[in-house]
Amino acid sequence: MTQINDAYINALLADAAYVEKLNEADNPEALVTALTGRMTIDLAEFIADNFTVVTQGSNSGIYERCSSVLQAKKLSLSASFLS
């Protein structure tokens, strides 16, 4: 993969990390449904086709912080993403 391609995918995953209850999407269709409120269906399908949600946590203190771990389904993509 090229650097620009990797940067674009990382930006998509960073955006996806802010979807509430992302870790409850236990199949690709549920993941697409969860993501389409934040991005286009094509982008949501790309993420669902290529990544699985490993875990998600949030801190609902004064400063909202959300952390998510997504893992690539294919070896040609980055192994995992932490946002």
Query: Nearest 5°: phi and psi at 62?
Result: -65, -45
* Domain locations in the chain as residue ranges: 3-82
pLDDT > 70: percent of the chain: 71
51-83 pLDDT tens trace: 888 767 766 655 555 667 677 777 555 555 555
Q: How confident is the model at residue 39 (pLDDT cuts 50, 70, 90)?
A: very high
pTM: predicted TM-score of the whole model, two decimal places: 0.74
Higher pLDDT, 17 or 77: 17
Per the CB < 8 A criterion, the answer to whether 49 and 15 are in contact is no
The residue-averaged pLDDT of 16-21 equals: 83
